[in-house]
Amino acid sequence: MRKIHHNNGGALLYFLRSLVPTTASHTAEDLAQETMLRAWRNLDAVPLEPESQRRWLFTVARRLVIDAHRKRQSRPVEVNLLGIEPAASGWESAETVIAMLTLHDAVKELSTAHRSVLHELYVEGCTLDEASARLGVPVGTVKSRAHYAMRQLRNALLTG
């Protein structure tokens, strides 16, 4: 078997790489291994003459490529799911909707002054100094309104 691999392994891999897409070099290597495995399992069927031996291996390899192609055609396309979050179950999505509605109602309950401070800080992305200048109130007032507004929203979510 070592002699068969030594004499034909490189040529077999080169042949398989010409049959599979260039992006799938690992597939060619896998098919070369499978071809050698088939030769080992059927060692008595592998011809002893070097030319006939190579022809036998290439025939097996070509048939493996055809089988692999047919197998890919019959299965759906594989996709990479590494960056995809799993879909929420019905229970999780219901909880999310309830939390959003509770938060929406809690924001409506805030005073205009508190709502405007949160808008400047968290929607517009202003710093404390920028929010203070835009609203025309001292920085300390912005901090205090943000603190009390967030506390009111937190309480509404925890009790809502």
With a cut of 70, say whether residue 6 has pLDDT above it.
yes
Report DSSP state, residue 121.
I
C-alpha 143/C-alpha 20 separation (Å) is 64
Q: Please write the tens of the pLDDT for every residue from 10-59.
A: 999 899 888 888 776 678 888 999 999 999 998 888 888 989 999 999 99
pTM: 0.45
Q: What is the pLDDT of residue 103?
A: 85
If you average pLDDT over residues 147-152, what whole number do you get?
Answer: 92
With H, G, I as helix, E, B as strand and everything else as coil, classify residue 111: coil
In sequence order, which residues have a C-beta less than 8 Å from that of residue 23 and are 6 or more positions away? none
Q: What is the pLDDT of residue 25?
A: 63
Buried b (16+ CB within 10 A) or exposed e, 16-52: bbebbeeeeeebbeebbebbbebbeeeeeebeeeeee
If you average pLDDT over residues 141-159, what whole number do you get?
Answer: 90
CA 66 to chain centre: 29
If you average pLDDT over residues 115-135, what whole number do you get?
Answer: 92
Q: What is the pLDDT of residue 28?
A: 86
Buried b (16+ CB within 10 A) or exposed e, 93-102: eeeeeeeeeb
Q: Please write the tens of the pLDDT for every residue from 104-123.
A: 898 999 999 999 999 999 89
C-beta of residue 53 within 8 angstroms of C-beta of residue 46: yes
C-beta of residue 12 within 8 angstroms of C-beta of residue 35: yes
Q: What is the pLDDT of residue 85?
A: 67
